[in-house]
Structure 1
Amino acid sequence: MNDTALTAAAEPRDAAGRPPVRAATPADAEAITRMRSAYVLSAPFTEDWVRQCTDELAPRLTPEGDARAFVVDAPDGTMAACALGLIHPVLPAPTYPRGRAARVQIVATQPEFRRRGYARAVLSALLDHLADVEDVTLFELHTSPEAAPLYRELGFSGSPALMRMTRHRQRAGAVPGAQPDSTWVPPQQYSDALPRAAAYACLYVTDEDDRPLQLHSVYSPGHPWHMIGGAMDLGERPWDAVVRECREETGMTAAGPPRLLATVFGQPREQRPYSTLQLIFDGGRLTDEQIRGITLNPREHDEARVLPLAEWEALMPARDFVRLRAVEEARRTGVAAYVDTWGNA
């Protein structure tokens, strides 16, 4: 048996097999601050900032303060994991009549204690305490795309840039773990909790030899070549957006009827805190004369080029070529394509 196995076997657990979680006190303020510095912030604190933030946090961890935290202690007495939430007032509403909300500020685990359920344990304890003891109903947090699945499992929704959850106090006598009673949520609150997505409509066009036509962007070095199309306006139908974008970008009029070739989905990223959804329609085959007649908008594109599919691979990022190849295959086979790796690479 190796040292890792010995350590894991010796880990303290409660009767249900969970790591022992305790409520933080003002004495834990420095350790929580250092966890934040090391594992949450993009740049670690200087010692002056550690002292300043410790002095700020300690009184807020008292019953009279607005901070609540739960921790797991490491065998050597250091802090293995912690979760910190800050309570704040909001205007009351029918679903949170006391007007109490909380932002999950920190969830952090030392690297050597990860993948043991510590983050879930401290976060669950924090959420249970805030909902059942502090009567907090509205929860918010910011996280990374990698950590978002854990929060969704616990009831949060939305993009990693802003995830929200409405949760009510457990009723006396309720079965532990049972789902709470359904509660009506005001339309605006429900809308605010939905994940955000930007919708795009695109047109796949080729010449008469089925060679894809692409436009060269003057403003997007990350996507130098792409199809005709762009973002949909608020309330605009996808095909109407295609017709508008085609006219604005090439001077041509897209001819229907609409035929959807592919749906392309992109996950949120740090620089783009929302999903993207692209609907790509078949724009048909253009004659050489039609291609020569394309009039580009110089603010957006400086070249329209036609090449065999294989030659496009060297001219665009891998994710762009995956999309182009999937759309070409969809037109050739008649089977609509679905791509959900857009922007991952």
Structure 2
Amino acid sequence: MNSETLRTRPRPSGTAHAARPATPADAEGIVRLRSAFVLAEPLAEEWIVRSGAELAARLAPGGDARACVVDAPDGTLASCALALIHPVLPEPASPSGRAARVHAVATHPSWRRRGYAGSALTALVDRLRAERVSPVEADVSGASVALFRASGFCGSLAPMRMTWPEPPVRGRVDEKTGHVWLPLEQYAETVMKATGFACLLFTDTRDRPVQLHGVYSETHPWQLVGGTMDPGERPWETAVRECREETGIELSGPPRLLATVYGLPGTEWPYSTMGLVFDGGRLDEGQIRDIVLDPREHDEVRVLSLPEWQPLMPPRDFARLGAVMEARRTGVAAYFDAWDWGTE
């Protein structure tokens, strides 16, 4: 793609379309439009999710991203225009010390030739002007020059750019198939990244779930005993350690698996999450009363029946608790793969 640096000039009046400021909820849709219709090579799904989570945070109040979008009748995004703000030294051309570069303008093919891209871009430029962000620049291909000029951009100076080249692939080539087998360290960089956790289900003698109230997470207010695996730990070792740290209870095993849990990355966490839930057994009233909480993590122990837990928990957390309880009841381990981050 050829590059141009274009600076804004007063735009001519034109036909208005229903462009609106983007919110963090629009982030993944913007990333998908950019991936499919702007980039020379579309992003893999893992990178779309990671990029969407990053953009959502940057579109939130105080972030450095600005975008305007046009909605399609089906609720998806028909078109978008995205800019990223960066600091510059103040001078007459940029008195506020902030400049912006248009990162993407894209329209889904189903909604092209309706003026949506021009509407989104013009609304974006108006928003940046209102915030006194100047100059506004863009990398523009030949096919998009007319759109940018119609929205008020001018100039044609092409900037020089440095991009660090990818390290050369030094792998073993299979003489029969031609497949390149990467060195271990290079292949490791291409695979999915994930964090692991291990939890315990405790109930009282009436089989009512025991949960702890977290002081650090509004998203997951009520939690099973457990946490993230430390490097070098096996899942059961994590469960035993976390149980000791969070409740003072010492477990000896043997481990009994109740559920395998998986979650896709999202706005709350940039990696996939995989974990195991073990059966911690039944606690009597005295054992529950003797639980010692770490005030840095939890401030309350509560015992409720499963229906009583539902209004206190996000739907995905309650669904996970229900699956774990069913596994305890039936003796058949559960597979729960919908514990995604930031989808509710």
> Which bracket does the TM-score occupy, shorter chain normalised?
0.5 to 0.7
Structure 1 residues 336, 183: closer, same or farther in 2, change over 3 A?
A: same
TM-score where L is the length of structure 1: 0.55
Q: 1:181/1:331 Cα in 2 relative to 1: closer, same or farther (>3 Å)?
A: same
Shift of 1:73: 11
Counting matched residue pairs gives: 217
1:221 aligned counterpart, secondary structure: coil
Residues 242 and 49 of structure 1, relative CA distance in 2, 3 Å threshold: same
Report the equivalent of 1:281. Answer: 278
SS at structure 2 position matched to 1:328 = helix
Tell me the equivalent position of 1:226. Answer: 223
Q: Which residue matches 1:53?
A: 137
State yes or no: 1:299 paired with 2:296: yes
Residue number in structure 1 paired with 2:246: 249
- Correspondences of 1:1-345 after superposition (within 5 Å): 25=2, 38=68, 39=80, 41=82, 44-45=124-125, 46=128, 52-54=136-138, 57=139, 88-90=163-165, 92-95=167-170, 181-342=178-339, 343=341, 344-345=343-344
In structure 1, distance between residues paired with 2:81 and 2:274: 30
**Contact conserved, 1:255 with 1:283, CA < 8 A, in 2?**
no
Amino acid at match of 2:212: L
> 1:327, CA displacement in angstroms?
0.3
Q: Which residue of 2 aligns with 1:110?
A: none
CA distance in 2, matches of 1:296, 1:26: 58
Q: TM-score, normalised by structure 2?
A: 0.55
What amino acid maps onto 1:53 in structure 2?
Answer: E
CA, structure 1 residues 184+303, in 2 after alignment: closer, same or farther (shift >3 Å)? same
Partner SS for 2:196: strand
User: CA distance change for structure 1 residues 241 and 71 in 2, over 3 Å: closer, same or farther?
Assistant: farther
Deviation string, structure 1 residues 161-195 (Cα, Å, up to 9, x no partner): xxxxxxx9xxxxxxxxxxx8311212222111111
Deviation at 1:216? 0.9
Q: Counterpart of 1:261 in structure 2: which amino acid?
A: L
* Distance in 1 separating the partners of 2:162 and 2:188: 23
Q: Is the 8 A contact 2:5 2:137 kept in 1?
A: no
Cα distance change of structure 1 residues 285 and 28 upon mapping to structure 2, 3 Å threshold: same
Distance 1:274 1:199 in 2: 10
- The DSSP-based 3-state class of the residue aligned with 1:190 is helix
How many percent identity over aligned positions? 49
Gaps of 5+ in 1: 1-23, 59-68, 79-85, 97-167, 169-179
Q: Summarize deviations over 1:211-231 as a string: whole Å, max 9, x none.
A: 100011111121111100000
**How many Å separate the matches in 2 of 1:243 and 1:52?**
55
CA–CA distance in 1 between the matches of 2:297 and 2:200? 16
Q: Partner amino acid for 1:88?
A: T
Partners of 1:247 and 1:192 in 2: how far apart?
A: 35
SS class of match (2:202): strand
RMSD of aligned C-alpha atoms? 3.5
Query: Aligned partners of 2:244, 2:217: CA distance in 1, in Å?
Result: 20
CA distance in 2, matches of 1:269, 1:42: 21
- Rate the CA distance shift 1:191–1:70 in 2: closer, same or farther, 3 A: farther
Letter in 2 for 1:333: T
Contact kept, 8 Å, 2:6 with 2:136, in 1: the verdict is no
C-alpha distance in 2 between matches for 1:37 and 1:313: 37
Of structures 1 and 2, the one with the larger relative CO (CA 8 A, separation 6+) is 2
Residue 321 of structure 1 aligns with an amino acid whose one-letter code is F
Does the CA contact (< 8 Å) of 2:194 and 2:272 recur in 1? yes
| Residues 215-258 of structure 1: per-residue CA shift (max 9 Å, x gap) | 11111121111100000001100000000000000001123111
Task: Check conservation: 1:263, 1:337, Cα contact below 8 A.
Answer: yes
Distance 1:94 1:338 in 2: 38
